[in-house]
Amino acid sequence: MAEYRKNPDSLSTLSPEQYRVTQQDGTERPFANEYWDNKEPGIYVDVVSGEPLFASVDKFDSGSGWPSFTKPLVTDNIVENRDMSHGMIRTEVRSAGGNSHLGHLFPDGPVDAGGMRYCINSASLRFIHRDELEQAGYGAYSTLFDD
């Protein structure tokens, strides 16, 4: 099993928006981000560490304007922290290995899928299409997309 960490080389290639979101706990604008309406099959990995985080099979349209998932792909790659910023009590979601700020977790997801909504910033993610999983080193996840 691969070990994922914050990669200094990856940090240096982040766009200003990716850096602001992942390293400074930022939030991107809704409906104006790369993956909010992506419907392609594949997985989403941490833009900093490469650790697998979410899969398109667990993605749903929440109407929020951000990519939303019912559950993580690998539970151990997600850390949940209490977030009391902005006058609210929320659950922040971070990547375990990369320590990247990903977004927040809310209890308003589809009831038939557990009721949770992982509301995630596109800027914290890199999408790997089903057809590219093997060459990108994530071939173990290709079975998610077997018919």
Cβ-in-10-Å burial (0-12, 13-18, 19+) of 99 comes to middle
User: Residues 119, 123, 128, 133: which is the catalytic one?
Assistant: 119
**How far apart are alpha carbons 53 and 55 in whole angstroms?**
7
| Residue 21 annotated in active site | no
**How far apart are alpha carbons 26 and 136 in whole angstroms?**
28
Whether 47 contacts 124, CB under 8 Å: yes
Which are the catalytic amino acids?
A: 119
